[in-house]
Structure 1
Amino acid sequence: MRMGYVNGLVCIRNYIDKDISYIALWNPSIQKLKKIPIRTHEPRAQQSPKSEMLDIYGFGYDSTTDDYKLVGIIRKPANEYEVSVYNLKANSWKRIQNMPCSGFSLCNNHMVFSRGALSWLMWKKLHRERQYMIVTLDLASEKYREFPIPVDRIDEIENSMLELDALGDYLCICVNRFMNRCEAWIMKEYGVTESWSLLYSIDTVYSIDMLYAAEFQTYKPVVFSKNGRTVLLKMSKNFKSDSLVWYDLEKKSFKQVEISGLPGVFNFQPTICWGSLCLLDGDPVIV
């Protein structure tokens, strides 16, 4: 499972079974792998209760210290969240201030790195609606920030799905409203809530055949083209078959991306990457 990608380094989590896993950093350019030590400040001798089982990780880069960092969050009783930070140079973990939650809960196990900070979605239920917010952790100052998403509340009847991602230098919110449309919003000025801008709104293809089998599509942005006029989207049909398409933001038209040798029906997670000579031992590059 890929948990993050920064400057040519991939952070992965491998599950040995449902209760045991390990985390590693991998540099595909030089084929080097480094396992991350278990957080020593946490007791692991006895099995944690279910209230402490939720843990998520995010991977990022601190340019002020030229160091790569891994952030781990564990939910404790009473909906408290303990946060730890691993530094690659020191090869060790440390505890930092607990994450503020204000009655909100973590949405999923996904963190996004952008502009020197890790960000993730949180939510709480209000009657038939869900209210969301974004929490960020600056990797240099280790300070938290909170700001709202462009879609204030989501009606549960809509059966919508939200995802937070990074699109270039922008934070991006994807709203997949099943049986209706897919939207993507980008934050043009980091941390400025007034700068949220609608990137696209695409009507989804939804049909029910004679056997009452529903078919729907969802879209997720991957990267802008060089001129910024088109965006590469991952298109998923019924979460069973993925493909790539270019979407023209002005003409609102699609162009299929043909990749030879791929199976007809499969799922994938596209990643934009480039080469790195980082040795994963605390030194920044090969010299």
Structure 2
Amino acid sequence: MGILGFGYDHCSDDYKLARITDYRIYVYSLRNGFWRKVKDFPEHCIHEVMGHTTQLNGAIHWLYFRYDAADWYSRSLEIAAFSLADEKLRKIPLPTSSNNCQLLVFEGCLYVHNLHDALWVMKEYGVYKSWTKLDIKVPFRNTLEPLGLLGNDEVLLLDHNRFSHEVW
């Protein structure tokens, strides 16, 4: 079991598929035509990948749970970013301590939507202090995809389960 992420590496002019499974990352290069293991997660903790991947700024992003080796009941949700160019794994801190989040990419920015109806945007990629909480109340459903900000604290959402548009 695992998740897949697909993206374009502009440095090598190659499309790559990243597979995250068994606490390892494998990359398939369309140019080379084969899989290879490129990274293990740190051994001092166990990770549980959740949700789906998103691509932004040449990296594949996903949410994962990091468990504390000293306290197996303690876990924290984090964002992993896997760069397709240098094939390095980086951590991006979340703006919220909620363990029920959805990761989105919209208009060139990372968004985090948590269970408490908060929508956060990272206005400057990779800069923790740029996380900004939006005053838009959005119901939490992992089938929602933002289509546009309408102003007046409204966002246009597509609900993939309902095949309809809603304004919140």
Superposition deviation, residue 82 in structure 1: 1.8
CA distance in 1, matches of 2:127, 2:46: 21
Residue 59 of structure 1 corresponds to 6
2:15 is paired with a residue of what secondary structure? strand
Structure 1: 5+ residue runs without aligned partners? Answer: 1-53, 76-80, 155-160, 205-216, 248-287
The percentage of counterpart residues that share the same residue type is 30
Q: Alpha-carbon deviations, 1:129-156, whole Å to 9, x = none? A: 75211111110011111122111244xx
Task: Identify if the C-alpha distance between structure 1 residues 101 and 232 changes in structure 2 by more than 3 Å, giving closer, same or farther.
Answer: farther
Q: Equivalent of 1:164, from 103, 123, 141?
A: 103
Superposition deviation, residue 104 in structure 1: 4.4
Task: Identify if the C-alpha distance between structure 1 residues 101 and 122 changes in structure 2 by more than 3 Å, giving closer, same or farther.
Answer: farther
Tell me which protein shows more strand as a share of its residues: 2
Within 5 Å, give how 1:268-287 maps onto structure 2.
Answer: none
Q: Tell which structure's C-alpha radius of gyration is larger.
A: 1
**Alignment pair present for 1:198 and 2:119:** no
Task: Identify if the C-alpha distance between structure 1 residues 66 and 128 changes in structure 2 by more than 3 Å, giving closer, same or farther.
Answer: same
**Alignment pair present for 1:72 and 2:11:** no
Residue 244 of structure 1 corresponds to 165
Task: Identify if the C-alpha distance between structure 1 residues 245 and 153 changes in structure 2 by more than 3 Å, giving closer, same or farther.
Answer: closer
1:110 is paired with a residue of what secondary structure? strand
Task: Identify if the C-alpha distance between structure 1 residues 101 and 233 changes in structure 2 by more than 3 Å, giving closer, same or farther.
Answer: farther
Residue 86 of structure 1 corresponds to 28
Q: TM-score, normalised by structure 1?
A: 0.50
Task: Identify if the C-alpha distance between structure 1 residues 101 and 245 changes in structure 2 by more than 3 Å, giving closer, same or farther.
Answer: farther
- Single out whichever of 110-119 and 82-91 deviates more from structure 2: 82-91
Tell me if the contact between 2:119 and 2:135 (Cα under 8 Å) persists in the aligned partners: yes
**Alignment pair present for 1:234 and 2:155:** no
Residue 175 of structure 1 corresponds to 114
1:197 is paired with a residue of what secondary structure? strand
Letter in 2 for 1:243: S
1:152 is paired with a residue of what secondary structure? coil
Tell me if the contact between 2:51 and 2:63 (Cα under 8 Å) persists in the aligned partners: no
1:64 is paired with a residue of what secondary structure? coil
Corresponding pairs, count: 162
CA RMSD of aligned residues (A): 2.8
Q: Equivalent of 2:96, from 148, 151, 155?
A: 151
Q: TM-score, normalised by structure 2?
A: 0.80
Superposition deviation, residue 102 in structure 1: 4.8
Task: Identify if the C-alpha distance between structure 1 residues 187 and 222 changes in structure 2 by more than 3 Å, giving closer, same or farther.
Answer: same
